[in-house]
A and B are shown apart, each in its own frame.
Chain A
Amino acid sequence: MYRYSDFDDAFVRERVAQFRAQVERRIDGGLTEDEFKPLRLMNGLYLQLHAYMLRVAIPYGTLNSGQMRQLAMIAERWDKGYGHFTTRQNIQFNWPRLADTPDILDALADVEMHAIQTSGNTIRNVTADHFAGAAADEIADPRPVAELIRQWSTDHPEFQFLPRKFKIAVTGSPNDRAVTRAHDIGLRMIRNEAGEAGFEVIVGGGLGRTPMIGKVIREFLPRTDLLPYLEAIVSVYNALGRRDNKYKARIKITVAESGLDEFRSRVDARFRQLRSHFRGADQAMLERIERAFAPPAFRSAPLGRYEIVQRTDPAFRSWTDTNLAPHKAEGYAIVTVSLKAHGATPGDATSGQMRVLADLAERFGHDELRISHEQNVILPHVHKSDLPEVHSILGEHGLATANVGLISDIIACPGMDYCALATARSIPIAQEIAQRFDELKLEHGIGELKIKISGCINACGHHHVGHIGILGLDRAGVENYQVTLGGDGTESAAIGERAGPGFPAEEIVPAIERLVHAYLDLRNGRQESFLQTYRRLGIGPFKAALYPERVDANAA
């Protein structure tokens, strides 16, 4: 894993000192709330419905055990004993006091972490495939590139006051687990016909109130051109992006309004100016970072009790079926620890659970942890012979839920329980769906099904790319939930189609149940997933299941 250089450490300490002074100036009146706002946002501090919220970056989702223990300590000492992992590989603390936040940032700096640029109209925490460095299907580990981008974008003088926030994601696998096509810039690590390493550059994707799938602006960008090319894109966007209407200020609108070709030619012109300013220091830094991400020393060992326990313990068997992914090293598995116990708040972990995960990483996982955009925690490198013990320890702490990729593994934004922007609750809907399908004992039979819930049109819960998306709105003071179908956040990305009128809170879970029963009736056997069935049949039969009274009315 990357460790901070003296430069990184001094930088983060200096930022904490600046922020401490800014907080003091806010408290004594030297800064107006208007002026303080962008400064606190640059340091991850939001003002939410009930309290301040501090959003801490977990760059490219990678943590070691010491960092996870520090998050546990922060949750206990300055918050209410838990944290919330988000869809952007961040952790949010929901109840800090303003005066404590400089101390929290100091505690983060002690373990090489920060909350810089986790909010505000700037380049946000860079995200990456949560299986990076472990996945069997990976071409290259995206984290060194993500770390290079973290350094380049941190405190970038030109880009601290962009028209709107700006999100970059990187994947090193053809199977896109980083939702690169729904980011302002998505980078896919590829090789060209000559075998040279580079990137496919995707621009202008995004969810929110105007969901768009990103467009390829450059089919093959040589690896050495990455920073000047990224800088050219963001620089053109900074000059061109709309500032008259925040809902039209994201780069997806800039690209759509300028046209991709015009936007590309402006980027190319700026790139030609910038190219000569990056003369190799960036590539030397990348090599240094790559050495830091050298794979751990995987061991070669027999599988021990793994296969026996798999045959004899149905709970373990079920968990290995859903929560493991193929690892590139012989004998290893990637373990996804579900933070979606039925009825729990998706993405929440208590300090106790964080410590258990840290201990497991240290004992069994080469000291590595990952946070996924699906709000789960990953032990990327576990030898299969250790899995029975890992599973049993997880079980003692409510962390062995065997539901990854299933209907109860729901992404949900914080919604009206926390968020100042929300128009409806998300968490209780996620909880009710999970509990209902657990009661029905149906979820393993349903198979892969991604439900994503947003509590407002800003779409933090990624509902547009859910196989089933749920969007909570406010209709004359009453929560109303719209359903979208057929969304997909992977390499075959698609925006879900709105099924029809929304449902009141008490009717949304039965509606989802009708939808799922329709799928079970319609599928060509267990092999055909919900999304495949939807793609084969279209929205018609699913609409009929959602709105049976309309079909009756038409028949009568």
Chain B
Amino acid sequence: MTILVTDSGFHTEERAWDFRSPDQLPVGQTGLAVELASDADPTTLSDHLQTIDLIRVNFPEFADGRGFTIARVLRLMGYSGRIRASGHVIADQYAMARRAGFDEVEIDDEIAARQPEEQWLRRANWKSHDYQALLRA
């Protein structure tokens, strides 16, 4: 089972999403969910941003930080829907993920068992102590 982590802790998925790859987006539909690999180029979605509700970015391993740039670029492109980090993300990266533009993190049971909710909640204060907030205004 997968667990969604937000600022308020652990949650379960509220609905089933039909994740599609960026080159298989149906024309004329809205409310889409897209799956991006860590080596994907997010600018390929630039014509579809209005039709997408959720973009899930995969972290194949926690040391692969490309996902942080993908989220940042999506926000720079003006995307305002949900962005989710999924895969091998650890609690210590939660603040980075939120600051880079992610709304939530999806983890599996194994990570959730080793890194219980309280460790993630400890980083829910990601808006504090943020140098970027001082310099970007």
Contact = CB atoms under 8 A, between A and B. Distances in A.
B137 interface: yes
B24 interface: no
B72 A161 contact: no
A14 interface: yes
Secondary structure dominating the interface of A = helix
Interface residues of B, number: 35
Interface string B64-83: 11101110110011000000
A151 interface: yes
Interface stretch (B13-21, B26-34, B95-103): B95-103
Given A11-B131, A30-B119, A155-B130, A238 B65 contact: yes
Contacts of A158: 65, 68-69, 72, 96, 100
A243 interface: yes
Given A21-B122, A278-B136, A157 B115 contact: no
Contacts of B68: 157-161, 238
B90 A157 contact: no
Contacts of A281: 134-137
Interface residues of A, number: 42
A162 to B, nearest CB: 6
Contacts of A270: 73
A227 B136 CA distance: 10
Given A10-B129, A30-B114, A39-B92, A273 B66 contact: no
Contact of B135 (A32, A121, A151): A151
A458 interface: no
Contacts of A299: none
Contacts of B41: 239
Contacts of A25: 119
A22 interface: yes
B129 A151 contact: no
Interface in A125-149: 148
Given A10-B129, A11-B131, A277 B136 contact: yes
Contact of A280 (B73, B100, B137): B137
Contacts of A285: 134-135
Most buried by B among A161, A278, A281: A161
B132 interface: yes
Contacts of B1: none
Contacts of B129: 7, 10-11, 14, 155
Interface of B: 41, 62-66, 68-70, 72-73, 76-77, 90, 92-93, 95-100, 114-115, 119, 122, 128-132, 134-137
Given A148-B135, A161-B62, A238-B69, 20 more contacts: A7-B129, A11-B131, A30-B115, A30-B119, A35-B90, A38-B63, A121-B63, A121-B65, A151-B131, A152-B135, A155-B96, A157-B99, A158-B68, A158-B100, A160-B65, A235-B69, A239-B66, A243-B64, A280-B137, A282-B136
7 contacts: A155-B130, A158-B96, A161-B63, A238-B69, A243-B64, A243-B66, A279-B136
